[in-house]
Structure 1
Amino acid sequence: MSIDIARVRAETPGCAHVVHLNNAGSALPAQPVLDAVADHLRLEAESGGYEAEDLNADRIAAFYPAVAALIGARPDEIAYVENATRAWDLAFYAVPFAPGDRILTTTSEYASNAIAYRHAADTHGARVEVVPDGPDGLVSLDALAAELARGGVRLVSLNHVPTHNGLVNPVAEVGKLCRAAGVLFLLDACQSVGQIAVDVAEIGCDLLSATGRKFLRGPRGTGFLYARREIVPTLVPPLIDLQAARWDPAGSFALREDARRFETWERFVAGQVGLGVAARYAADLGIAAVEERVRALGAGLRARLADRPGVTVRDRGPNPCGIVTFTIDGHEATEVRDTLRAARINVSVAVPSGHGYGTATARDVVRASVHYYNTEDELDALVGALPVTA
């Protein structure tokens, strides 16, 4: 299956205004997503918020099977959450840590997650341990296997794709090791869902968090959590309301038996509708076709940058994704970003691999993240607009 680029660009209003290469930050939404959100907001304005929810109940409920189908899950394993960080937090803080429990993570961990690990260590007496990288930059599977064999591991938690690099971790292999050791596996898929194939059964993760606004092209303020059916009863969310549980007038409550025990009753309903539409839009294009094009565009941009004097590509791993990071001799990353923005080319600045537990390099990097609706001409435009090295 190939993607009709002319059609998807025509369905993406932003393509007419900017060269958008900041998809790892927030991608341009497609017109069907815009329409779905606007239609529900209009319905709320015309009929009332609660009434609109009743009138649009089918489209709201369609979110669950749409997201489940995209990642190979079951609808009852999906919870709608307001963003990926909150989804990750809800999963992580539901793990019943005890003194001495070991949390294994990676050198490329996101800072928000690293803060949560430290909080668990301070609160529960857990121990946070960083699995080293292999020579290719990926998390070392041999080192992970050795740490799991030592025992005492409560959780393995890592990112599929770090926020500051094009690296793609070998998560299916990590999942096999965790299953064999009987250890929970929490995957931060914030930067992977929507740009590369993600199948929770193949990966073998127990929990997965993702956002709507990035490569999935959904609304901001939306995200989801996958919780494997078999482990849901073992996890008590840190926050519980009348959506997550049923109140017993006698003075007790019973948690839901599905992943929606991680939800709250109040939510951005129009965003839930829009995120369901975004998931179906991606699935209809074919995630394999999306991944093929994104990887090809990423490789093309790296090749262009490598040919430019004074430019150093900073990505790691043998098969990087659509996130491309680089530095330019004599120019700070913020300066490069601002120069490109003045030319209506969107990129961002990322903190290098010291964001969480790694060893920081001396400089921040420019992050240009491609998506399938980008074109070769847009890549040429970015390279042509870069400041000249001294």
Structure 2
Amino acid sequence: MITPLLTEEDIEALRNETPGTAHVIHFNNAGCSLAPTPVVNTITAYLQQEALLGGYEAEAQYEQQLNNTYNVIARLINAQPEEITLVENASNGWCIAFHGIGLQPGDEVLISEFEYVTNMIGYLYGKQHYGITLTVIPNDEQGNFSITKLKEAITDKTRLIAVTHIASATGGVLPVEAIGAIAAEHHILYLLDACQSIGQLPVDVAQIQCDFLSVTGRKYLRAPRGTGFLYVSKKSQHKITPLFLDGHAVSTINEQSYQLLPNGKRFEFYEKNRATTLGLAKAVEYALHIGMDRIWNRIQYLATHLRNQLQLIEQVTLQDGGNIQCGIITFTVNHCDSKEVKEYLALHHINVSVGLARSTLLHMNKHQLNSVVRASVHYYNTLSETDFFIKTLSAFVQERKTSQAHPHSLK
């Protein structure tokens, strides 16, 4: 079945519900997307009720909608509501899973070249404090994660495969289903960092076969900052120990013992922002209404167009690799600091970000990169925006070239 593309009328309607598009060309969706009006209205409406009724009273009034957050997230990733834990960000969710496994001296963890700085800190902490060993699965010459090397790396000491679905500073996508099949075959725990993929492309945890999936709301989901979720499969919930607990996490307690809840709420704290929780649910519903296949098709279409145009600009080098690439486009300008590029684009109301070496340390060091410019497109972006981006970047390159050739001709 062919997925219908988003039409020009669809895009216009989506942009009308995204007020920020009238002010900026937002190519920083891998950092934080522009929130749609329904999400903003959901948050502000709840805050108004809190102000009028009181915090606990507003929560009681919205109890059904708050509980429904688990249901809509489960629909998004093909999970069960009982497998969802609400967290403040992907890093929090990832740490709950990684540090809760109970890694022991000699346990081996297999990782990719694309690990984000938070994950790297966790791995290094694990080496120093748990005594684990780390094995990096190398990419091939095309930038693809090597399934062959993964199979060869597995030993009887391998306790965990922990990889990032889409890296922070390159546009490649890992073959997460193939990785999951190998993890399942060898009965190895599988932790997937999906902070850049959820909201960008379809994700089915049943097909991936991951035990844990960490997600943020602010990126491609277009949810408010300070939101996210962790998926912990039902079969793996007993395999991780919550390191911190409050009364929200237990079903019963007496003077001698307590009993954890039989679901993902055992990893939560009671106190969280109810307004942004509803905002997260609305953002998920918004994505589901559009359709993840349609979103992914649109993002790939825009990203391919932008990559093709970037390749035509002298002194610009694309830094993305892999056979499957996403809406994150990374590049460098020869002999130019990426921050300078970002600042020039910002003067023309174009938002991009800079990926520093520390953000994706293994990948950046391997390719001898200090930084990259990261332009990340979303479905509400347009071809006219990508064309203006190319025109502006070309002007920057030309101005630099002129100033270097005639250093006293420009002030």
Work out which of the two has the higher radius of gyration on C-alpha atoms and give 1 or 2: 2
| 8 Å contact kept, 2:161–2:190 | yes
Higher helix share: 2
* 2:249 equivalent in structure 1: 244
Secondary structure class of the residue paired with 2:110: strand
TM-score normalized with structure 2 length: 0.92
Secondary structure class of the residue paired with 1:355: helix
| 8 Å contact kept, 2:117–2:358 | no
* 2:188 equivalent in structure 1: 183
- CA offsets 1:162-188 (integer angstroms, 9 cap, x no match): 000100000000000000000000000
User: Closer, same or farther in 2 for the Cα pair 1:354/1:276, shift >3 Å?
Assistant: closer
Unaligned runs of 5+ in 1: none
Check if 1:388 corresponds to 2:397.
yes
Counterparts in 2 of 1:1-390, with a 5 A limit? 1-3=4-6, 4-148=10-154, 150-352=155-357, 355-358=360-363, 360=365, 361-386=368-393, 387-389=396-398, 390=401
In the aligned structure 1, how far is the partner of 2:373 from the partner of 2:89?
24
Secondary structure class of the residue paired with 1:144: helix
Secondary structure class of the residue paired with 1:312: strand
- CA offsets 1:24-79 (integer angstroms, 9 cap, x no match): 00000111100111111111111111111001111111111111101111111111
In the aligned structure 1, how far is the partner of 2:109 from the partner of 2:118?
15
Deviation for aligned residue 1:135: 2.5
TM-score normalized with structure 1 length: 0.97
Secondary structure class of the residue paired with 2:247: coil
Secondary structure class of the residue paired with 1:388: helix
Unaligned runs of 5+ in 2: 402-411
In the aligned structure 2, how far is the partner of 1:388 from the partner of 1:138?
30
| 8 Å contact kept, 2:66–2:277 | yes
User: Partner amino acid for 1:20?
Assistant: H
In the aligned structure 2, how far is the partner of 1:244 from the partner of 1:134?
44
| 8 Å contact kept, 2:184–2:209 | yes
Question: CA-atom RMSD, angstroms?
Answer: 1.2
Runs of 4+ more than 6 Å apart: none
Deviation for aligned residue 1:359: 5.2
**Number of equivalenced pairs:** 389
| 8 Å contact kept, 2:24–2:349 | yes
Deviation for aligned residue 1:356: 3.2
In the aligned structure 2, how far is the partner of 1:374 from the partner of 1:129?
39
Deviation for aligned residue 1:138: 2.0
Secondary structure class of the residue paired with 1:158: strand
Deviation for aligned residue 1:158: 0.4
